Structure 1
């Protein structure tokens, strides 16, 4: 697919969008919603968090701890820069750490002509890249027809945000090594975390997103604005969205529904992101869900 065709399929930008994206990459990207009662806000917040799938079941929420470095491929350099700038602006606005230009990419956004073919090739050649995709979501990711697909790799850090330390076990065949050493005789290894204190509240560990991949099917996003696509890509790259067909109320995630509620990040989206990036990660999943809902309700019903 030619660069010019890719650019046209990315969606036309109107004059105002172009000015916003070029002259002020950190311009406000939120919209104001209808004022709700506290009970209505709570019901909506609970459904929002449930639909996204963050802190599902017993698994605590994950987020980026390292600075994010988005890289966009598959469209012209000019428009790739627009998407990267918008993603960086969103990350900065919600309190994420952002790596400087020229960094090593850990967020990959790929515009492709046939996303299904690409995903099947990845699944065939490098299935371990999809190892953290839930079993019930893998078929939709690989063989589905979603306009945008995504997946993550996560890691575990100590509550002090230090990286995990590998500890190798001595096997019956003998031999042991330290981090960075190869031990051919050891058929297995485990990882341990160093803890410096104890707490009846803390889980002692943080789940971190360490790599995110977003694949955008050019044919299926035709007619969409580049700003909307960039906002959608940012949300699914910065949040561990655990479903391939999210329907969170009042969210950019409804962009591809028959009656989308927003074509940029909504105030609900931004409130959720800010809350997620303030959370103490070393808490059980149920507390994370409660904190997210509380913050969203408070933001929607001030005073």
Structure 2
């Protein structure tokens, strides 16, 4: 698991920008309030989930964190960093995701920087495992497209229950000569064949989101924290550029004015459904699960 190096923390802090003025006076222990709206038709909720999803295949599991969350927030002043961290941890706990104690090794980073491209190169130099080679092209494409929010997840296959696969030098069930491998390999030995269930799950090992400081200055700090929550905790979710979805979601439009300032009823239903599904549930089942969760929150 990649660890956020001290040098990058220093770099981010050096380019720190002040959050919205009221952030310093906010109470980090206040309740998280989810915006409400009228009950939408279940079909509209399902359609939006599918529209926001980067995969709707039945042979791909719904990806999420299985390990306890350890957050690191950098780039605001001390009060702003602490507030965003606390709010995001409260959001995670509200959907049943465990949160590690202070001092843990970070597996989810929120960074605010006035030169995201420079920060990306610094990460590659100092902490290459945080941004592995197979992910760098994706991040550099975001930069080339002028994206002011950069996001990536490092993922791995897990067993059916969301646990890490062990490493072995023999193929399971092969006791004959020739069954040995030349290297220790990660092999799923704790799953069983089924017509109705996938033999594996997909878990997030680490993730990071970088906000361009230009869009953060003056932004309502709850909006920043809740947007980061949705994008980090829902890896397969894609934002809609310049579109106000129905029902409303924190993910769009962003960072344009007019979008919600905090998690909406749809967002809470989305995260709650995602983190209550079976670890190996296919991504195609998420839409119905969100619709049912949304109706149940009335």
Q: Return the TM-score normalized by structure 2.
A: 0.78
| CA distance in 1: counterparts of 2:202 and 2:244, whole angstroms | 23
Between the two proteins, the alignment pairs up a number of residues equal to 277
Corresponding residue for residue 4 of structure 2: none
The answer for unaligned runs of 5 or more in structure 2 is 1-10, 172-177
- SS in structure 1 at match of 2:64: strand
Identify if the C-alpha distance between structure 1 residues 43 and 110 changes in structure 2 by more than 3 Å, giving closer, same or farther: same
Corresponding residue for residue 198 of structure 2: 203
Corresponding residue for residue 239 of structure 1: 234
- Residue 217 of structure 1, CA deviation: 1.0
Corresponding residue for residue 28 of structure 2: 22
Corresponding residue for residue 217 of structure 2: 222
Q: Deviations over 1:198-219 (max 9, x none)?
A: 4332212111111010111111
Corresponding residue for residue 186 of structure 2: 191
Give RMSD over aligned pairs: 3.3
Conservation of the 8 A alpha-carbon contact between 2:160 and 2:191: no
- Residue 143 of structure 1, CA deviation: 2.2
The answer for unaligned runs of 5 or more in structure 1 is 178-185
Matched, 1:261 2:263: no
Corresponding residue for residue 275 of structure 1: 273
| CA distance in 2: counterparts of 1:262 and 1:118, whole angstroms | 28
Q: Deviations over 1:225-279 (max 9, x none)?
A: 1111111111111110454655572111114254533111111000100000001
| CA distance in 2: counterparts of 1:142 and 1:122, whole angstroms | 15
Corresponding residue for residue 160 of structure 1: 161
Q: Return the TM-score normalized by structure 1.
A: 0.77
Identify if the C-alpha distance between structure 1 residues 34 and 131 changes in structure 2 by more than 3 Å, giving closer, same or farther: farther
Q: Deviations over 1:161-214 (max 9, x none)?
A: 3311123479xxx9x78xxxxxxxx5x764211125443322121111110101
Identify if the C-alpha distance between structure 1 residues 224 and 109 changes in structure 2 by more than 3 Å, giving closer, same or farther: same
| CA distance in 1: counterparts of 2:157 and 2:23, whole angstroms | 43
Corresponding residue for residue 296 of structure 2: 299
Identify if the C-alpha distance between structure 1 residues 30 and 199 changes in structure 2 by more than 3 Å, giving closer, same or farther: same
Conservation of the 8 A alpha-carbon contact between 1:32 and 1:267: yes
Q: Bigger shift: 142-151 or 191-200? A: 191-200
- Residue 132 of structure 1, CA deviation: 5.5
Conservation of the 8 A alpha-carbon contact between 2:50 and 2:287: yes
Superposition pairs for residues 46-85 of structure 1, below 5 Å?
Answer: 46-53=47-54, 55=56, 58-85=59-86
| CA distance in 1: counterparts of 2:130 and 2:65, whole angstroms | 21
Superposition pairs for residues 25-44 of structure 1, below 5 Å?
Answer: 27-36=31-40, 38=41, 41-44=42-45
Corresponding residue for residue 21 of structure 2: 12
| CA distance in 2: counterparts of 1:151 and 1:109, whole angstroms | 11
